[in-house]
A and B are shown apart, each in its own frame.
Chain A
Amino acid sequence: MSQLQALCDAIIKADRNSLPEALRLTREALAAGIDRKAIADAMVKAMDEVGRRFQCNQLFVPELLIAKRAMERALELLGDTGVKPLLTAVIGTVQGDLHDIGKNLVAGMWKCANFKVIDLGTNVAPEKFVQAAKENNADIVGLSALLTTTMPAMKTTIEALRKEGLNNVKVIIGGAPITQEYADQIGATGFAPDAASAVAAVRKMMNLGA
């Protein structure tokens, strides 16, 4: 198990050595005959710790992404491990709006939290959200907007989802002008005031625990 602890530590360290170390230690663990699922579980546990440190302002986003990349590449060595994503999320910036760095950060953090993420990009029409949610059997749809004049597109998108019968899909919204009051007003399930809180908001919304 010390090999798995070393693998965890390499990911948690989140520096330029994380990727080569994670790959080396994964290969060694496989060669030692350690169960693939146990190796994968160790990596998921490491990313949980990385996420915790990020929440505590001990890590920056680049470090979070380095750790994520190390885990993803190391997981590729394992093939099918039986580790399933916690949920499936569709995310995009709503129609008329091009701002996407916040949306990209949320997508990255959701991936780090073991969510399957379908990122539709920017200027996404309501029907595209509907189509992607249906095709991927999404649990969550995330809508982002930065402009006051594109906020109404969030409402239009939620209406389109509900009109198509996607009543069980939870919708979380965010962006600089967005408030909890606005989320309530347009029928969104939840609201994240910033990218850093988007994982916790979804976990709470989906009753996944803290």
Chain B
Amino acid sequence: MPSFSDLAVGAPTDLCFGRAPVPLRTRRGLVIGGGAVWPELNFTLPPMLVEAATMPHILDQYRQIITDALARAVELHQTGIVVEFETLPPMTDNPQWAIDITAVLNDAMEQAFVRHGLKSALRITPNDTREFDRPPVLRHGAHWENMLRTFEGCARAGAELLSIESVGGKEIHDDALTMADLPAVIFALCVLGVRDMRFLWTALRDIAARTGTICAGDSACGFGNTAMVLAEQNMIPRVFAAVVRAVSAVRSLVAFECGAVGPGKDCAYENPILKAITGFPMAMEGKTAACAHRSPLGNIAAAACDTWSNESVQNVRLLGGMAPTCYLEQLIYDCRLMNQALAEGPQAAAALQRWLVQSDAPLDPQAYILSPECAVAVARSIVSAPDHYRAGKTAALTAIALLRQGLAAGRLAISERERPWLDAMQSAVESMPDDETTFIGQMTAALDPGVWLPEQYGL
């Protein structure tokens, strides 16, 4: 199992879109991170029930989505595309439904490859349904078994990239967010989340080995993105969400420690930090994902991307056509621009990277913390730590220091209302014990035992 003790990308200017030190080549010849950015299309169903009776109609929906989208990609002279099939919970609990949809998508992608030379890869992202049980049962039971069956069945049906938005630790993290409790955030992400990720991704690595597929990556979506959305709604401070993002990289890194090689999951906005550590290609989403959720990261998210995603869009009709096809068109044009910059050479790519960063970074702490300089600094702090717990602490303190420096230098705007939170967060982290065992004892005593099951984390 690799552990990362140094950075794969140490210079901020090298943390650039389209270029990863360790590119990935897929079955149909798509090279991700090898000098070009590819669109990654995601979609979901319009309001409708997912049940046995509706499955024929659902298969028709997915068939129409992929057929229209691939046809448009060909019309636009696109030569490569990643498609993500993120299942809906009933599909993960009924693996054959997900497998049937995977086959529909993969067949269309194979046909487009054979007929038009359109290179592609299919990412499968089953739901982490383990949280259907409260407290979550993470290591056994029907949800765990069905989730793994979905992974394996979809992998055998043509999905090539295995991803998930795993939820271990979320039952603690949700309350930690609403209380802006940074030690509890670190406990959820870097103690519980890390342990769950190790267990989960070891199982996924075995499935990938059996099926000849690729472990791509995880996401702290239920953690960092929840913080981001709450901050966007003025529920919690933006500086807090920015620090949560930095800490979340420690948890998401575990997928790569267990054998994932990218492209990291699109909604993992912590991916620039992970790219700096691992050198693997990363999916990102930003302005072209506004159909799914708001963010203050529309441009800066693209600065280090290797695939560029729309996150998710309902299959509804817009004036320009069905929404997934319209969004693919937008993604393709976004990618064309980045690829033209890459084609014109390092200076052009660096200029576009700078514009993507500087158009967002000064305006929001969450954007600022993802600037290449900050991402590399946080990444360096993580790899210098002796374990995940202390990596979480140092990532938090590094992020706080970076925000302070940005504010002091006039490179970052932080509202007056938010500034006291920097002191509060620093004080909270500095009051945490040095060793994880003591910390686990403190947190276990303080947390509601009805909310989580320590044995599900091997504690």
**Complex CA distance for A145 and B180, rounded to whole angstroms:** 24
A108 lies within 8 A of B178 (CB):
yes
**Complex CA distance for A164 and B91, rounded to whole angstroms:** 31
Main SS of the interface on chain A?
Answer: loop
Closest beta carbon of chain A to B29's beta carbon, Å = 34
Scan residues 99-135 of chain A and give those whose CB is less than 8 A from a CB of chain B. Answer: 100-101, 104-105, 108, 121-123
- For B129, the chain A residues whose CB sits under 8 A away are 98
Main SS of the interface on chain B?
Answer: loop
A65-B50 contact, Cβ under 8 Å, with A98-B89, A104-B174: no
**Complex CA distance for A121 and B450, rounded to whole angstroms:** 13
**Complex CA distance for A123 and B133, rounded to whole angstroms:** 10
A61-B47 contact, Cβ under 8 Å, with A100-B174, A101-B177, A104-B174: no
A177-B235 contact, Cβ under 8 Å, with A100-B174, A149-B88: no
- For B132, the chain A residues whose CB sits under 8 A away are 98, 122-123
A79 interface contact, C-beta 8 A:
no
Scan residues 111-168 of chain A and give those whose CB is less than 8 A from a CB of chain B. Answer: 121-123, 147-149, 151-152
- For B50, the chain A residues whose CB sits under 8 A away are 149
B180 lies within 8 A of A62 (CB):
yes
Residue in chain A with minimal CB distance to B314: A148
**Complex CA distance for A152 and B46, rounded to whole angstroms:** 11
A105-B88 contact, Cβ under 8 Å, with A149-B45, A149-B48, A152-B48: no
- For B233, the chain A residues whose CB sits under 8 A away are 194-196
B27 interface contact, C-beta 8 A:
no
- For A195, the chain B residues whose CB sits under 8 A away are 233, 235
Chain B 189-209: CB-based contact to A (< 8 A → 1; otherwise 0): 000000000000000000000
**Complex CA distance for A97 and B49, rounded to whole angstroms:** 12
Question: How many residues of B are in contact with the other chain, CB < 8 A?
Answer: 31
Q: Which of B178, B234, B237, B417 contacts A65 (CB 8 A)?
A: B178
B94 interface contact, C-beta 8 A:
no
**Complex CA distance for A148 and B50, rounded to whole angstroms:** 10
**Complex CA distance for A66 and B46, rounded to whole angstroms:** 39
Q: Enumerate the 6 nearest inter-chain pairs by beta-carbon distance, A residue then B residue, closest first.
A: A62-B180, A61-B235, A151-B47, A148-B47, A149-B50, A62-B179
What are 28 A-to-B residue pairs whose CB atoms are below 8 Å?
A60-B234, A60-B236, A61-B180, A61-B236, A62-B180, A65-B178, A66-B179, A97-B89, A98-B129, A98-B132, A101-B178, A101-B226, A104-B178, A122-B132, A122-B134, A147-B89, A148-B44, A148-B47, A149-B44, A149-B50, A149-B90, A152-B47, A177-B314, A182-B47, A195-B233, A195-B235, A196-B233, A196-B234
A binding-site residues for B, Cβ under 8 Å: 57-58, 60-62, 65-66, 96-98, 100-101, 104-105, 108, 121-123, 147-149, 151-152, 176-177, 182, 194-196
B binding-site residues for A, Cβ under 8 Å: 44-50, 88-90, 129, 131-132, 134, 174-175, 177-181, 226, 230, 233-237, 293, 314, 417
